[in-house]
A and B are shown apart, each in its own frame.
Chain A
Amino acid sequence: MACNMRTDLLISQICPTSGHVSVKRRIGNASVVRAVVVDHNSLVKNIIGSTSSLIMKRPTLPNPQLVEETDNERKGCKGKFGRFGGKFVPETLISCLSNLEAEFNLVLHDAQFQAELATALRDYVGRETPLYFAERLTNHYKKNNNGEGPEIYLKREDLNHGGAHKINNAIAQAMIAKRLGRKSIVAATGAGQHGVATAAACAKLSLQCTIFMGTKDMEKQSSNLVLMKLLGAEVKSVDGNFKEATSEAFREWVGNLESSYYLTGTVVGPHPCPSMVREFQSVIGKETRRQAMDKWGGKPDVLVACVGSGSNALGLFHEFIKEKDVRLIGVEAGGFGLESDKHSATLAKGDVGVYHGTMSYLLQDEEGQIIRPHSVGVGLEYPAVGPELSFLKDTGRAEYYSVTDKEALNACQMLCRLEGIIPSLEASHALAFLNKLCPTLPTGTKVVVNCSGRGDKDAEMILNHKYYPMEKQFPASQNS
């Protein structure tokens, strides 16, 4: 099973330098995979209004826009996923990126590296993370729907060392940096989870660590700031939030190419960054497949994950992309609502452009200037999204929806009270979508939600949220 990924990547490396190898895949009698593009804007409007039967199955539009995908496009051959991806960076970085790509391809087939990584993931990160059956949560939805409803499982990425899925990628890339002989790491962080993960990995591997973080984020996720410092990282503040921190980290990297390594935390950036991060996060999906087989002798039916830039979503989805009977659902941050200008729903509201080195969907104004997004889930505040996720949107392989700040906060507290698990506000977005999803699914459906991080960093903010403070809405005595 685990060979699939490796073999696929091997094949993708032999891809021709010119033209595409166009693979027409067969499903049943169809000779071409027909993809359906869902009109997310209208879907979302309906969803916000009421639980809608639109979510029951993927709807077809009267005139579906077909985006035919070739196998190479899907795999991100040469860093392109269809029209998305690429390397839109100053020329100074190109050589470095090519070296990185070469090294990445080497480690994929290096048995010793893979063994070391497996050991680190097991003994240091704490994998495998459990696939947990959320019984009370499941019953909660069934109760509200005449006893009908899916079984909800949580992939407990919150139990990783550091408190989120970020470490899966950080440890692997730190190992690559070491192989390349780099002495220092530079990274940018939003909610701080990638910062903490990187700082931890650097400490373990004896690398100098510099983390850029936006001043606004530092205020909101101050506990992570403390942790980074404790782990020995130098934290540099940048006016603004994650998008500014990323730009500044880039500039720092460009100025120190020979000695430092830019450790990207998510599936954006110039090739090979999106592919690297996806590869290292795909352990989530691989484990889920094994665990699902153990638990119920089958595959998951629906995968749900929050989408900021897309690392945890792709980590869960990637293993199952080729299997069309597994629904992939990404949930974006709707902030104050999609009609406001305070959200981070790139796939719902953005259009295609070039940002931070890659072509993808992004939130921009009519001048092509990048908009600063908003979400209560700081880790979701990014005005773009990974190119591979953009491709999944265009081919209709993944469905994307959004939930508001309020819905996410409610979902967080619901999991706290029903299962005794504190999810991060980012993961709470995925959980919030269950409100709309569950009533549309028949009993017996297996839903896996990626609980991408724990919410300790958010606890104080949740309790004292300016607009939706928890205790006011759900006093301690209330337990459903």
Chain B
Amino acid sequence: MAIAFKSPTTSFFQLKKNNPETHSFLRFSTQRFATPARRFTPMSAISTVPTVGLSETFTRLKKQGKVAFIPYITAGDPDLSTTAEALKVLDSCGSDIIELGVPYSDPLADGPVIQAAATRSLARGTNYNAIISMLKEVIPQLSSPIALFSYYNPILKRGVEQFMSAIKDVGVHGLVVPDVPLEETEILRREASKHGIELVLLTTPTTPTERMKAIVEAAEGFVYLVSSIGVTGARASVSDRVPTLLQDIKAATTKPVAVGFGISKPEHVKQVVGWGADGVIVGSAMVKLLNEAKSPEEGLKELEVFTKSLKAALE
């Protein structure tokens, strides 16, 4: 299924240069089918969903000897239309998988940056249906698969089956639920499997080896290695336990392993790649950038620059 998904960055720049007046992002959103075939071959312009899921993405990248770049942003911060644009920016800048966080009132696994993003998003009235509608519009325009990041209670409230079915319908490929330990994942795994959603599981520095083995056995899409003991948030350096943890996991499974929590600089990315990770996840740094920008448009521009710098570190 090797339809040309990846956009050559040169043509992206060219279009931007040709239209200095017009805001390039707005232009893309209004003329999606009129854009030159920089991204889509005519065939994929007809299909509504990128067909490649998380595992397949990793398989493809591995063949190319590449490491996956996986950014995370919170839906609805500063607002859903910016999120829609941000998804496109991240996609066009070479993200391989994109994690999208569903805002929750009590995000226990998240540090101050992502907590604040969730609060802002909820204050704006972001809700599940709005996120689904937005994804329905945007996912067909993306080449990277989306993995949703959601706490358990909102999923339960909706009903696990309905949740899985709804996200599958709009083209989401994967799901990460940070507050459900392996023992409690039975229902999630069953419904995810039934609906073709890849349920990513997390392992951490405190997870004993035997338990880690059970987790990686059950994980789909990829294994999420939490790099440090604590909540999300940028740190000065990536924990030096990561190399050993990576080794242990790779001894237990051939599934791809992506490292997340605390990664915020190109140097961090280089380090993690050097240690043998199959993917690198960057969250708080992205969210912070979008929030600290003077305006959503500024934020999107900065996001682009930042994403490219991180992506470059993967080469």
**Chain A interface (Cβ < 8 Å from any Cβ of B):** 86-96, 243, 247, 250-251, 254-255, 257-258, 352-357, 362, 364, 366-370
Alpha-carbon separation in the docked complex, A96 to B128 (Å): 33
Alpha-carbon separation in the docked complex, A186 to B179 (Å): 20
User: Which B residues between 174 and 191 are near A, CB-CB below 8 angstroms?
Assistant: 178-184
Is A88 in contact with B180, judged by CB distance below 8 angstroms?
A: yes
B157 at interface by CB-CB < 8 Å: yes
Q: Which residue of B lies closest to A246 (CB)?
A: B106
B231 at interface by CB-CB < 8 Å: yes
Task: Knowing A86-B184, A356-B108 are in contact, say whether A94-B157 is a contact too (CB < 8 A).
Answer: no
Complex interface: chain A residues within 8 A of B108 (CB): 89-90, 247, 250-251, 254, 356-357
Is B207 in contact with A367, judged by CB distance below 8 angstroms?
A: no
Complex interface: chain B residues within 8 A of A247 (CB): 106-108
Alpha-carbon separation in the docked complex, A258 to B205 (Å): 12
Task: Knowing A257-B206, A364-B153 are in contact, say whether A369-B122 is a contact too (CB < 8 A).
Answer: yes
B274 CB to nearest A CB, Å: 24
Alpha-carbon separation in the docked complex, A196 to B258 (Å): 44
Is B206 in contact with A96, judged by CB distance below 8 angstroms?
A: yes
Is A368 in contact with B109, judged by CB distance below 8 angstroms?
A: no
Is B105 in contact with A370, judged by CB distance below 8 angstroms?
A: yes
User: Which B residues between 182 and 238 are near A, CB-CB below 8 angstroms?
Assistant: 182-184, 201-208, 211, 215, 226, 229-231
Is A88 in contact with B184, judged by CB distance below 8 angstroms?
A: yes
Q: Which residue of A lies closest to B206 (CB)?
A: A95
Complex interface: chain B residues within 8 A of A251 (CB): 108, 110-111, 230-231
Specify which of B155, B181, B231 is in contact with A254 (CB 8 Å cutoff).
Answer: B231
Alpha-carbon separation in the docked complex, A155 to B207 (Å): 44
Alpha-carbon separation in the docked complex, A435 to B47 (Å): 68
Specify which of B105, B182, B208, B226 is in contact with A92 (CB 8 Å cutoff).
Answer: B226
Is B106 in contact with A368, judged by CB distance below 8 angstroms?
A: no
B150 CB to nearest A CB, Å: 9
Is B105 in contact with A94, judged by CB distance below 8 angstroms?
A: no
B127 at interface by CB-CB < 8 Å: yes
Task: Knowing A86-B184, A91-B204, A96-B206 are in contact, say whether A354-B156 is a contact too (CB < 8 A).
Answer: yes
A-B interface contact total, Cβ < 8 Å: 105
Alpha-carbon separation in the docked complex, A362 to B152 (Å): 14
Complex interface: chain A residues within 8 A of B109 (CB): 90, 92, 254
Is B231 in contact with A354, judged by CB distance below 8 angstroms?
A: no
Is A92 in contact with B204, judged by CB distance below 8 angstroms?
A: yes
A351 CB to nearest B CB, Å: 8
B contacts with A, residue count (CB < 8 A): 39
Complex interface: chain B residues within 8 A of A96 (CB): 206
Contact with A along B102-121 (1 / 0, CB 8 A): 00111111110000000000
| Residue from A88, A96, A352, A355 with most neighbouring chain B CB atoms (10 Å) | A88
Complex interface: chain B residues within 8 A of A86 (CB): 183-184
Complex interface: chain A residues within 8 A of B140 (CB): none
Task: Knowing A255-B230, A354-B179 are in contact, say whether A367-B127 is a contact too (CB < 8 A).
Answer: yes
B266 at interface by CB-CB < 8 Å: no
Is B154 in contact with A91, judged by CB distance below 8 angstroms?
A: no
| 18 extra interface residue pairs, beta carbon distance < 8 Å, beyond A91-B181, A254-B230 | A86-B183, A87-B184, A88-B180, A90-B108, A90-B179, A94-B181, A94-B207, A247-B108, A251-B111, A254-B229, A255-B229, A352-B156, A353-B157, A357-B108, A357-B179, A364-B157, A369-B104, A370-B153
Alpha-carbon separation in the docked complex, A243 to B108 (Å): 11
Q: Which residue of B lies closest to A95 (CB)?
A: B206
Specify which of B154, B158, B179, B211 is in contact with A89 (CB 8 Å cutoff).
Answer: B179
Complex interface: chain A residues within 8 A of B215 (CB): 91
Alpha-carbon separation in the docked complex, A93 to B180 (Å): 11
Alpha-carbon separation in the docked complex, A369 to B155 (Å): 10
Is B154 in contact with A243, judged by CB distance below 8 angstroms?
A: no
A71 CB to nearest B CB, Å: 21
A211 CB to nearest B CB, Å: 18
A470 CB to nearest B CB, Å: 35
Is B181 in contact with A88, judged by CB distance below 8 angstroms?
A: yes
Q: Which residue of A lies closest to B201 (CB)?
A: A91
Complex interface: chain A residues within 8 A of B211 (CB): 94-95
Could you show 18 A-B contacts with beta carbons less than 8 Å apart? A86-B184, A87-B184, A88-B152, A90-B178, A90-B204, A91-B181, A91-B226, A92-B206, A94-B206, A254-B108, A258-B229, A354-B156, A354-B179, A355-B153, A356-B106, A357-B179, A364-B153, A368-B157
Q: Which residue of B lies closest to A239 (CB)?
A: B119
Specify which of B154, B184, B205 is in contact with A367 (CB 8 Å cutoff).
Answer: B154
Alpha-carbon separation in the docked complex, A257 to B226 (Å): 15
Complex interface: chain A residues within 8 A of B152 (CB): 88, 354
Alpha-carbon separation in the docked complex, A93 to B204 (Å): 9
Is A366 in contact with B157, judged by CB distance below 8 angstroms?
A: yes
Alpha-carbon separation in the docked complex, A355 to B152 (Å): 9
A31 CB to nearest B CB, Å: 31
Q: Which residue of A lies closest to B163 (CB)?
A: A368
Closest 4 CB pairs of A and B: A368-B157, A368-B154, A255-B230, A369-B105
Complex interface: chain A residues within 8 A of B154 (CB): 367-369
Q: Which residue of B lies closest to A257 (CB)?
A: B229
Complex interface: chain B residues within 8 A of A362 (CB): 153
B90 CB to nearest A CB, Å: 25
Complex interface: chain B residues within 8 A of A369 (CB): 104-105, 122, 154
Is A368 in contact with B183, judged by CB distance below 8 angstroms?
A: no
Complex interface: chain A residues within 8 A of B106 (CB): 243, 247, 355-356, 370
Alpha-carbon separation in the docked complex, A370 to B207 (Å): 29
Alpha-carbon separation in the docked complex, A291 to B127 (Å): 54
Complex interface: chain A residues within 8 A of B181 (CB): 87-89, 91, 94
B313 CB to nearest A CB, Å: 26
Complex interface: chain A residues within 8 A of B155 (CB): 368
Is B231 in contact with A91, judged by CB distance below 8 angstroms?
A: no
Alpha-carbon separation in the docked complex, A420 to B212 (Å): 59
Q: Which residue of B lies closest to A352 (CB)?
A: B156
Contact with A along B230-265 (1 / 0, CB 8 A): 110000000000000000000000000000000000
B26 CB to nearest A CB, Å: 30
Complex interface: chain A residues within 8 A of B207 (CB): 91, 94-95
Alpha-carbon separation in the docked complex, A356 to B226 (Å): 20
B212 CB to nearest A CB, Å: 10
| Residue from A96, A258, A353, A369 with most neighbouring chain B CB atoms (10 Å) | A369
